[in-house]
Amino acid sequence: MKNHRVILIKQSKSYQLTKQIANWMDRYYLDAVLGLMFEGVGDMLTQLLTLPYIYVSAVKIKSVPLTLAVIYNALCDLAIGLVPFYIGSVLDFFKKSFVRNFRLITGFVEGDRDVIHEVNRKAAITAVLIVALCVVIYLLVLLAIKVTSWLWNIVVGLV
């Protein structure tokens, strides 16, 4: 039964699309070239091509840890690509996040223990970062409320 599921996933159009994207973006360096041509914007646009990886991991494979690991790789690639003065674009020649995501998906489907360990590690890091980001957003909202209240008291006091 498990082998049948693996075959179905690997034969799906979305899985095949992720394989093609990995080839074009990383093996033919399209990710880095677009980053060089359109500094900053090119990196953000190429990250749209991460959506098929997220679809495969979340919908086809139905794995939250794998989906978080794919997002982790994409965010790391975006952060590196956004380093200014074309340094990030040069680093993109070596990062190869699309190939890494494809390797994670393939290894996860095939039950590769090393890949599953890597997926779980990246998922945990991403989950912690998401919680930390929520705390930061909460604190910023509290700060905005305090500042708004303080400014309102000043304005009302002047009238």
- Per-residue pLDDT tens over the stretch 57-114: 999 999 999 999 999 999 899 888 888 888 888 888 898 999 999 999 999 999 999 9
* Nearest in space to 91 (alpha carbons), one of 101, 76, 104: 76
**Torsion from C-alpha of 43, 46, 52, 55, nearest 10 degrees:** 30
Domain ranges of the chain: 2-133
Mean pLDDT of 137-147: 92
Alpha carbons 83 and 93: distance in angstroms, whole number: 13
51-68 burial, b for 16+ CB within 10 Å, e for fewer? ebbbbbbbebbebebbbb
Q: Which residues contact 59 (CB under 8 A, 6 or more apart)?
A: 14
Whole-number pLDDT of residue 54: 97
- What percent of the chain shows pLDDT beyond 90? 68
Per-residue model confidence as pLDDT tens digits over 120-130: 999 999 999 99
- Given a contact cutoff of 8 angstroms between Cβ atoms, the answer to whether 119 and 104 are in contact is yes
What confidence score (pLDDT) does residue 23 get? 96
pLDDT of residue 78: 87
Reference 52, options 100, 120, 98, 89; nearest CA is 98
Q: Tell me the whole-structure pTM to 2 decimals.
A: 0.82
Q: Using the CB atoms, write b or e for 119-135: b if 16+ within 10 Å.
A: beebbeebeeeeeeeee
Q: For residues 62 and 89, is the Cβ–Cβ distance under 8 A?
A: no
Alpha helices in 28-112 (DSSP H): 30-37, 41-46, 51-55, 64-81, 87-95, 97-110
**Mean pLDDT, the chain, whole residue set:** 92
